[in-house]
């Protein structure tokens, strides 16, 4: 099933110069990037993005971290994109992440784990709407789709 999901390269990934390598992993897998932008997340948007964590001990440090520098936001489309993108990212705690995943290859601690990805269809829809307007989402066919998907 073709799905849309939200992914973000967090401030540590941007600062460490990993944006291109991470985007390339998604493109190499055959995913279609349908929206992308770099931004510094305002505190109000960060609060809405992480609202399910409000009241938890890591909430304030998380807000401080995610608003500390630029991030790269992406809407990604592809076959089972939500689960596949999260699998490519690896476990939240990089110590448990498999080598070959983004977190397994590039990070060491949970608080600096490089990337964020939607964990469900509902969160993907909510997060895409938080970060992108309708006109920013592109609809197009990639020339290699006939080689990626069976009809």
Q: Where are the beta strands (DSSP E) in 2-140?
A: 2-9, 32-39, 71-79, 115-117
Is 53 among the residues known to form the active site? no
Residue 151 and residue 149: Cα distance in Å, rounded?
6
Residue 27: other Cβ atoms inside 10 A: 13
Two tokens, residue 151 = 């009809």
CA dist 58 → 22, 53, 55, 102, 111 (Å): 26, 8, 8, 22, 9
Selecting among 26, 66, 116, 131, the annotated active-site residue is 116
| Residues forming the active site | 116
């Amino acid at each position: 099933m073709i799905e849309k999901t939200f992914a973000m390269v967090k401030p540590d990934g941007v600062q460490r110069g990993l944006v291109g390598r991470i985007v390339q992993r998604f493109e190499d897998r055959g995913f279609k990037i349908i929206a992308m932008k770099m931004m510094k997340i305002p505190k109000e948007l960060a609060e809405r993005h992480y609202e399910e964590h409000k009241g938890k001990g890591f909430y304030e440090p998380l807000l401080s971290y995610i608003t500390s520098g630029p991030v790269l936001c992406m809407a990604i489309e592809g076959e089972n994109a939500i689960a596949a993108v999260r699998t490519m990212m690896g476990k939240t705690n990089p110590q448990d992440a498999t080598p070959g995943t983004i977190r397994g290859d590039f990070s060491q601690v949970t608080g600096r784990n490089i990337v964020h990805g939607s964990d469900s269809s509902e969160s993907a829809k909510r997060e895409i709407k938080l970060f992108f307007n309708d006109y920013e989402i592109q609809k197009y066919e990639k020339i290699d789709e006939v080689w990626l998907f069976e009809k």
